[in-house]
Amino acid sequence: MKFNNPVIKGFYPDPSVCKVEDTYYLICSSFQFFPGVPIFESKDLINWEQIGHCLTRTTQVQLEKVNSSGGVFAPTLRHHNGRFYMTTTNDTTRQNFYVWTDDIYGEWSEPIYVDQGGIDPDLFFENGKTYFMSNGQDDYGVSGIVQCEIEIDSGQKLSPSRTIWQGSGGRYLESPHMYKINGLYYLLAAEGGTEYGHMETYARSSSVSGPFEAYPHNPVLTNRNLGGYELQGVGHGDLVQDNKGNWWLFHLGFRQTGQYMTYHHLGREVFLTPVTFGEDGWFTAGHNGTTLLSFDTDRIPDTVVQNEKKIFTFDNTDWNLDWCYLRHPHYENYLLESGRLKLRGSEVTLDEPGSPTFIGIRQKDFNAVISCEVSVLDGEAGITIYMDENHHYDLAVRTRETGYQVIERLNIGDIKSVEHTLDLTSRNHAVLLIKASATQFSFFVQLEDKEIPLGTAQTRYLSSEVAGGFTGVVIGLYAAGGCTGHDAAFTNFRCEYL
């Protein structure tokens, strides 16, 4: 059958995967958004359904006032002796920790911290021992992939942290994952930075602690030389074996906005690439070491159909799964009802690294039509196309002394400008409409059956290349100002991908 990449669209970076019996589970990083570390499951590798989050309580992770692209970095998911473990880094507090659960559909434990630095931690279990790996410096000042043995119940180190591999020469060696395959230990890593030079490399050894021999043809997977191809930034992957013995690599990548337009704003997404082991024990990946936007494969039966959801509404999404908050939310400002949302604004705005009244859903494709009826009694409320506190586009209804008006506001770095307004006089509500393409957002007000254009804004100014950071665009519904109750109401939300 033929499947299309990405298999999980939108801002879901740094995938890690494991298989338990006939079910695959996958998690991604979440940075400053909450709940943290979304969890997906699949039976066929290409159709994924979100089932929860690993970090759902404020006691599990500190996100108060963390900078955008701070907070929860790349996680690893592993299953051992009936228990799931998720290990990650809070990059803001510089702490590596893990949580565990015996029920992946339920709550996870409080964090257990490990006294080893770096980021992108990994757990490897063998013969009653637990090995903890991350990138960084070891106890002797040597940089690379660092390993120690820990006591799994407490996180206590049982051995010094020691560098076991220093990569193939690329910058930003990260994302270590260890596997034992056919008696050999394989250490997978990412190099080159999570940008256009990103790549997957690996090495192998007869011992879990090395020395490791690098794959002679590293990188095993990269799109760095595919200039003009939509799919770029391939790397940071995790291997999994299916029930038929085939190996696959789940990894991140991003889609640039045009053939020669090196901007991306949807974030880093989840891609699937086939892996093949040779008789010599080395493996190759993808099409001549590259990842494609679609693969024809006989590894997945033709009876499997890749489904794609095109329309997202209040009625067909789950507030606890599909939607997210900025940092730890003040729940008293939210009324999440069936088919309706009510918000109470606060003095915290979208322009600061706090927790404004905001609930968002990730943008999943370039071409979309986003609409919502918004009413306001006091303050301001609307739709924001949000990358971070310094880069977002707002379409909102706000109160004025003379009545109400709709505004189009552009926030690009230090420039924050209300570009267009439309007075509503006595009307305090309007249908707000945003049409998205790969290169542009267009903003409208829909009054009765008439669409009134308010302006446009380029997607590039919300891209990672301009804004920086590691996240992607989130379509947010927000309220600001006002303090007399849940002053803003949102109905008939619809995001349709074309």
Query: For the stretch 125-144, what's the b/e string if a residue is b when 16 or more beta carbons lie within 10 angstroms of its beta carbon?
Result: beeeebbbbbbbebbeeeeb
**How far apart, in whole angstroms, are the C-alpha atoms of residue 384 and residue 129?**
48
Residue ranges of the chain with per-residue pLDDT less than 50: none
Q: What is the CA radius of gyration of the chain?
A: 23
- Pair 267, 253: CB distance under 8 Å: no
Assess contact for 449 and 337: CB atoms under 8 A: no
Domain ranges (residues) in the chain: 2-296, 311-497
> Dihedral (C-alpha) 461, 463, 469, 474: value to the nearest 10 degrees?
100
What single DSSP character describes residue 62?
-
Catalytic residue, from 14, 230, 378, 394: name it: 14
Q: CA 316, 322, 324: angle at the middle one, nearest 5?
A: 140
The top-level CATH class assigned to 311-497 is: mainly beta
Region of 428 on the Ramachandran plot (φ > 0 left; ψ -120 to 50 alpha; else beta): alpha
Distance between CA atoms of residues 257 and 293, nearest Å: 14
Residue 203, CA distances (Å) to 184, 215, 442 in order: 10, 5, 48
Please tell me the total number of residues recorded for the chain in this structure. 498
Q: How far is the C-alpha of 9 from the C-alpha of 358, rounded, in Å?
A: 21
Q: Tens digits of per-residue pLDDT, 14-49?
A: 999 999 999 999 999 999 999 999 999 999 999 999
- For the record, the structure tokens of 68 come out as 């955008």
Q: What is the DSSP string of 155-166?
A: --BSS--EEEE-
Residue 485 is predicted with a pLDDT of 64
Residue 269, token pair as written in the block: 């997404």
Q: What is the per-residue burial (b if ≥16 Cβ within 10 Å, else e) of 25-49? A: bbbbbbbbbbbbbbbbbbebbbbbe
Amino acid 483: pLDDT: 60
Strand (E) or helix (H) holding 464: helix 464-467
- What pLDDT score does 366 carry? 98
* Coil vs helix vs strand at 220: coil
For residue 400, what pLDDT is reported? Answer: 86
Please give the CATH topology (third level) of the domain spanning 2-296.
Answer: Tachylectin-2; Chain A (2.115.10)
Cα 214 to chain centroid, rounded: 29
The string over 360-389, giving b where at least 16 C-beta atoms fall within 10 Å of a residue's C-beta and e elsewhere, is bbbbbbbebbbbbbbbbbbbbbbbbbbbbb
Confirm if 235 and 2 have CB atoms less than 8 A apart.
no
Catalytic residue among 122, 174, 380, 388: 174
CA 170, CA 167: separation in Å to the nearest integer?
7
Residue type at 189? A
- The owner of tokens 């947010």 is 476
pLDDT at site 219: 98
Q: What pLDDT score does 487 carry?
A: 84
List, for residues 216-249, the tens digit of each pLDDT value: 999 999 999 999 999 999 999 999 999 999 999 9
Asked if residue 498 lies in contact with residue 369, where contact means CB atoms within 8 angstroms, the answer is: yes
**d(Cα 100, Cα 55) in Å, to the nearest integer?**
10
The whole-number pLDDT of residue 425 equals: 77
Residue 14 a catalytic site member: yes
Is there a catalytic annotation at residue 107?
Answer: no
